[in-house]
């Protein structure tokens, strides 16, 4: 939006992108755009939005989710996709994680057939989903600099990360509509 440094909207969405046990096709979304910022600012802002939403809805930054306590007051851990793979599946070397041929072969071991046009970032993301994603519990703001999607840029992916995190939090604590100001 020309002339506005910060823009946001809250809206209802329905996305017919196929069935998945990990995605709800109907959801409420808060989407924002911020000029003159970088991905680090977006991660800080995402963290503060999630924390503020928990406090507004629950009166505390400590919430219960799936029978476990989650303390959103603590700083969020920040990992790249490759960093998360190396932390939770340390058998992979940096060279292996930068080798598309190796990644394709490794994904086949997990029963994942990568698309022929998948680039290095998409292959790394697929391996992350197989090796590290299920082990994440602590608050995580993901630095997505390892992803190389030619159609997407950092603010768009960071926006999607915020929406995903807000959706998880809203399911965990059944958030009412709250002001994040």
Q: What is the pTM of this model?
A: 0.63
Instruction: State residue 117's pLDDT score.
Output: 92
- CB-based contacts of 52-57 (< 8 A; 24+ apart in sequence): 52/178, 52/180, 53/166, 53/169, 53/170, 53/175, 53/178, 53/180, 54/169, 54/173, 56/178, 56/179, 56/180, 57/173, 57/174, 57/175, 57/176, 57/178
Percent of the chain with pLDDT over 70: 71
State the SS3 of 98-147.
CCHHHHHHHHHHCCCCCCCCCCHHHHHHHHHHHHCHHHCCCCEEEECCCC
Q: What is the mean pLDDT of residues 6-13?
A: 84
Q: Average pLDDT over the chain, rounded to whole?
A: 76
């Amino acid at each position: 939006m020309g002339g506005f440094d910060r823009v946001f909207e809250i809206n209802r969405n329905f996305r017919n992108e196929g069935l998945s046990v990990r995605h709800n096709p109907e959801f409420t979304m808060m989407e924002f755009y911020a000029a003159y910022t970088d991905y680090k600012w977006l991660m800080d802002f995402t963290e503060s939005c999630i924390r503020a939403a928990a406090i507004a809805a629950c009166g505390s930054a400590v919430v219960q989710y799936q029978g476990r306590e989650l303390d959103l007051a603590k700083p969020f851990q920040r990992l790249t996709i490759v960093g998360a793979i190396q932390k939770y599946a340390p058998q992979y070397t940096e060279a292996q994680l930068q080798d598309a041929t190796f990644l394709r072969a490794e994904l086949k071991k997990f029963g994942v057939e990568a698309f022929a046009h998948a680039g290095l970032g998409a292959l790394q993301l697929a391996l992350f989903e197989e090796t590290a994603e299920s082990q994440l519990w602590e608050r995580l703001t993901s630095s997505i600099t390892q992803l190389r999607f030619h159609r997407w840029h950092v603010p768009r992916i960071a926006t999607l990360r915020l929406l995903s995190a807000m959706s998880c939090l809203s399911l965990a604590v059944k958030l009412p509509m709250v002001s994040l100001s």
